[in-house]
Amino acid sequence: MELAHLTIHEVHGKLSRREISARELTESALARIAAVEERVHAFITLDREGALAQAAAADRLLAAGETNPLCGIPLAIKDVLCTRGLRTTCGSKILENFLPPYDAAVIEKLKAAGAVILGKASMDEFAMGSSNENCAYGAPHNPWQLDAVCGGSSGGSAAAVAADECIAALGSDTGGSIRQPASHCGVVGIKPTYGRVSRYGLLAYASSLDQIGPLTKDVRDAALMLNAISGHDQRDSTSVNVPVPDYSAALVEGLAGLKVGIPREYFGAGLDPEVAGAVRGTIRLLAEAGAEIVEVSLPHTEYGVAAYYIIAPAEASSNLARYDGVRFGYRDLAAETLHDMYRQSRSQGFGPEVKRRIIIGTYALSSGYYDAYYKKASQVRTLIVEDFTKALAQCDALISPVAPTPAWRLGEKTADPLSMYLSDALTIPTNLAGLPGISVPCGLSSAGLPIGVQLQAAPFAEEKLLRLAFNLEQRLGLVGRKPALA
């Protein structure tokens, strides 16, 4: 098997024993990218020279006795995270040539660990999308079926992991943007608790919802990545100063004493029968592993999408005001007045979906409409938080589908934004409540497309999620299953 096909913990052992070098591992990943990237399109920017230089530095660290499990590991980074001196576009033409002068907090942590950054992964523009088709540089293709979407907005990160173009990746999750593409691409994706991982250096979409997390080939790797990026950061006012446990220690066999809830609202109309069947089969495996299964209710779930698509665009309207052509980013040089420069730079630099959400958000915040829309959505958000609080008082975690359907064909929903928005109906409530959630592969559809199962828990209960996910993974036996991408 090629080195790029392995997991973090597998290659860490080889690196530690000096059976392979970080340079050999990085060259294997770069060779894999050269072989399949023309079909997958997972990357916006590839940094071959920088990656090899980082691999050489990692080899020096390993020779000196470095034991960090991420030392020498080639990673893909969602193009929403600032990387000093490496182009960061956020999937948008307005930042086509932007070179950040600093690293995001998570990038600082990865570099300190000795990780190797291969490049920046494709994404929906400013993380606004459910299919990664809103990227200004073209949509990535699902490695399991090249005419299918990868999911969004971290579709490039999920595709790169699924296609073995990297060992693991980072994404961000505002309404499901890690878990949904992880489900569609057959990889593991975890959205940590809001405040668990610093957002410093993350190009903001919706600041009260965004959270950074890993996409990996198995649950053990997710724990290793989460260990590396978690922790308090004074530069992020929403970062919570709570101890970070060793997530790898949570990966123990058996679920005796754990109670798992099934939200009845997540199994209603619109759920694909194959998805429902795969998830219910997974629930039976939990029971066999010793977990107690109970039914719970999240009665305000049906209002989640509506609340999200007021709150998130409202925050985006504010956050994206900084992209005005003045200090950085695209500027229309033909504009004759300051007003024209603002209007034309933003009109030409932003794509249709971003402009749609800015308009929605600005309207929702405007005089005379704030109470009717933003205030009402915030009240619904509070009700959703209360729903989760009550449900999680009855159990340790919740289990449900990640998405109502497997991945759809590229172009199938681009003319129907509402249908696209509804594809996140089962992941959005997690973000509104600030909870941790994880997607784990649990099967394939009859068309050969991956299906994921979602686990959610109380704030800062990632250990419970990882324990549940690890036990499911062991019983499902799907680790190492690869798409038929020659």
Catalytic site positions: 78, 153, 177
Burial 449-478 (b: 16+ CB within 10 A, else e): bbbbbbbbbbbbbbbbbbbbbbbbbeebeb
Please state whether 460 falls in left (phi above 0), alpha (psi between -120 and 50) or beta.
left
CB 93 within 8 A of CB 349: yes
Task: Report the number of secondary-structure helices (H) and strands (E) in the chain.
Answer: 15, 11
CB 144 within 8 A of CB 449: yes
Amino acid at 198: S
CB 299 within 8 A of CB 265: yes
CB 121 within 8 A of CB 129: no
The length of the chain, given as a count of residues: 486
Within the chain, what is the greatest distance between any pair of CA atoms?
A: 70
Strand segments (E) across 64-143: 74-78, 116-121
The helix/strand/coil state of 423 is coil
Distance, in Å, from the CA atom of 391 to the CA atom of 333, rounded to the nearest integer, reads 55
